[in-house]
């Protein structure tokens, strides 16, 4: 069975855009040309690849198999390009790094320090939520991600490289702001602004409160840590966030960290990649650099 790289690229684009016309625009092709390529492929394999559902184009079972094939081919080409770069030496090459949005507060410092050692390395950086990061790993669209502890069931390897303490934040005028050794029971009726369901921070907080036989009253749910900090500054409730996100607000005295017993919740940042992934020298060098230097380069706000 002959399938061209062009046809695989078209399948990926249609699966992404859920539309023949949008896929054609994305690929800088005409819609008839895209339709013809798919029609020829469907005739060749004698099975439909797409079907229409609620005004969108979705993949059939055969289409999903070819999409998976396209992703594997894309990853093989990417790895081959990296191997060619590696043959020219570690001074040149590419790194595709994906990270949790919260890692934005320290990852640029790591990348800048790494770039000083390897100035000719090209780095592509993406920030996503947890679901997006796992999808990027599953579909081989990134070399590695910086995130909290990886979940089971995705064939992932996680390497912890730096503590990620979660703390309770409040407006400076909050009644608990000036207190020391605050008992957990003092938070039993507190209203919290929390991350969205599925977030690692949200799960860690819920587990922590459950272990203390207390409810976590989520009065507002937000999908960005910046939004949570703004809501706490507006005195809408308390928040639980990574201490790495608080440097500016603490310097300006717009937020305080409450001295609550058993806090902070101790977590770690991880470099995560697919099990058995074959790293070329540049991603391998970055991984080793982070494991060795992260804790000395990144300081928590005081």
Q: How confident is the model at residue 225 (pLDDT cuts 50, 70, 90)?
A: very high
Determine the Cα–Cα distance for residues 249 and 260; give it in Å rounded to an integer: 19
Tell me the backbone φ, ψ of residue 153, rounded to 5 degrees.
Answer: 90, 5
Confidence (pLDDT) at 139: 85
User: Could you tell me the domains of the chain?
Assistant: 5-68 (1.10.10.10), 163-267 (3.40.190.10)
Structure letter (DSSP) for residue 150: P
In tens, the pLDDT along 245-282 reads: 999 999 999 999 999 999 999 999 999 998 888 787 88
What are 193's two structure tokens?
A: 């602004």
Q: What is the pLDDT of residue 153?
A: 77
- Does the predicted model carry a pTM greater than 0.75? no
Q: Is there a contact between 222 and 231 (Cβ–Cβ < 8 Å)?
A: yes
Alpha helices in the chain, H assignment, sequence order: 5-17, 20-27, 31-45, 61-87, 107-117, 130-138, 200-211, 225-233, 247-251, 281-297
CA–chain centroid gap for 66, Å, is: 26
- Band the pLDDT of 2: cuts 50, 70, 90: confident
Q: Mark residue 288 as left, alpha or beta (left: phi above 0; alpha: psi -120 to 50; beta: remaining).
A: alpha
Distance of CA 50 to the CA centre of its chain: 29
Measured between alpha carbons, how far is 150 from 167 in angstroms, rounded to an integer?
21
Concatenated DSSP letters for 49-77? -EEEETTEEEE-HHHHHHHHHHHHHHHHH
- Name the residue among 152, 260, 148 with its Cα closest to residue 199: 148
Say whether pLDDT at 155 is over 90. Answer: no
DSSP 3-state of 108: helix
| Six-digit token string for 163 | 């503590």
Per-residue pLDDT of 91-109, as tens digits, reads 567 889 999 888 989 999 9
Q: What angle do CA 66, 69, 70 make, to 5 degrees?
A: 90
Q: Angle between the 61-87 and 5-17 helix axes, to the nearest 10 degrees?
A: 120
* pLDDT tens per residue, range 52-85: 887 788 888 988 888 888 888 877 777 777 666 6
Greatest mean pLDDT range, 10-24, 233-247, 275-289:
233-247
CB burial string 79-93: b at 16+ within 10 A, e below: beebeebbeeebebb
């Amino acid at each position: 069975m002959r399938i061209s790289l062009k046809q695989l690229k078209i399948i990926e684009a249609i699966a992404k855009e859920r539309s023949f016309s949008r896929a054609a625009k994305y690929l800088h092709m005409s819609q008839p040309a895209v339709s013809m390529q798919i029609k020829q492929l469907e005739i060749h394999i004698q099975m439909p690849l797409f079907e229409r559902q609620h005004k969108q184009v979705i993949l059939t079972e055969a289409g999903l198999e070819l999409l998976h094939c396209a992703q594997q081919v894309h990853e093989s080409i990417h790895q081959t390009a990296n191997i060619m770069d590696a043959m020219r030496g570690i001074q040149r090459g590419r790194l595709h790094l994906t990270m949790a949005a919260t890692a934005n507060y320290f990852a640029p410092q790591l990348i800048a320090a790494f770039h000083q050692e390897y100035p000719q390395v090209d780095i592509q950086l993406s920030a996503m939520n947890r679901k997006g990061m796992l999808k990027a790993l599953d579909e081989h669209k990134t070399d590695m991600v910086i995130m909290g502890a990886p979940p089971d069931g995705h064939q992932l390897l996680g390497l912890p490289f730096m503590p990620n303490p979660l703390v309770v934040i409040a407006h400076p005028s909050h009644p608990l702001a000036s207190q020391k050794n605050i008992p957990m029971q003092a938070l039993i009726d507190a209203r919290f602004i929390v991350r969205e369901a599925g977030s690692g921070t949200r799960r860690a907080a819920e587990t922590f409160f459950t272990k203390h036989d207390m409810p976590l009253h989520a009065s507002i749910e937000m999908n960005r840590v910046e939004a949570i900090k703004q809501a706490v500054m507006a005195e809408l409730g308390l928040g639980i966030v990574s201490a790495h996100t608080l440097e500016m607000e603490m310097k300006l005295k717009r937020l305080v960290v409450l001295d609550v017993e058993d806090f902070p919740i101790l977590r770690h940042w991880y470099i995560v990649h697919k099990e058995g992934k074959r790293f070329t020298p540049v991603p391998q060098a970055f991984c080793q650099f982070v494991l060795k230097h992260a804790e000395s380069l990144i300081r928590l706000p005081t």
